[in-house]
Amino acid sequence: MKWLTQLFTNTTTSENKLEMKKFLIVGLGNIGAEYVNTRHNIGFKILDFVAQQHGLSFETAKLGAITEYSVKGRKLILLKPNTYMNLSGKAVHYWMEKENIAKENVLVITDDLNLPFGTIRIKGKGSDGGHNGLKNIQLILNSTEYPRFRFGISDEFKKGQQVDYVLGEWTEAEKNKLPERYEMAQQIIESFALAGLNNTMNSFNGK
């Protein structure tokens, strides 16, 4: 993990001179007060945390809310689509085109029912796993090969109650554990931009 520590040290003069490489970090969620603290909005919440740590605020732009910051010669563009979950791909595609960002430099953050609460799984490609946001992104991009960061929300619901569970709020026990998970999520995002997908997967998957 020595390489990871070195990533967050001061930028060298030579690195400052390099043209900034851009990354699109997409947090999936639904707009509207009724969705703010729901499990399905973990992507929004993670980006809100990252923005807060850097003293940033989101601005309303086309198809979403946007903010950005730079780390060691990398520009991270944070996007919260305002299209609602089922049309997330429209916003992702628009900002990829606008900022000229390749698929391999896009990281999509989403909830995952198939993982225990708070468990991290980062992959470079894969199926939508039944997630409507990923399903639409796959449809619009015509590809399953884009990095995604899945955040486990577990599947502790009774038969027929999946929608209510996903659109429900965290338990008190979960709320107490979220701040530490948010901190790790920020490390993952910045590691993705600085160290690349493979190193990030090796360092954080399963944690």
The burial of 104, by beta-carbon neighbours within 10 Å (0-12 exposed, 13-18 middle, 19 or more buried), is given as: middle
What is the Cα–Cα distance from 84 to 90, expressed in whole angstroms?
10
Catalytic residue, from 40, 54, 93, 131: name it.
40
Active site residue 40: yes
Residues labelled as active-site residues: 40
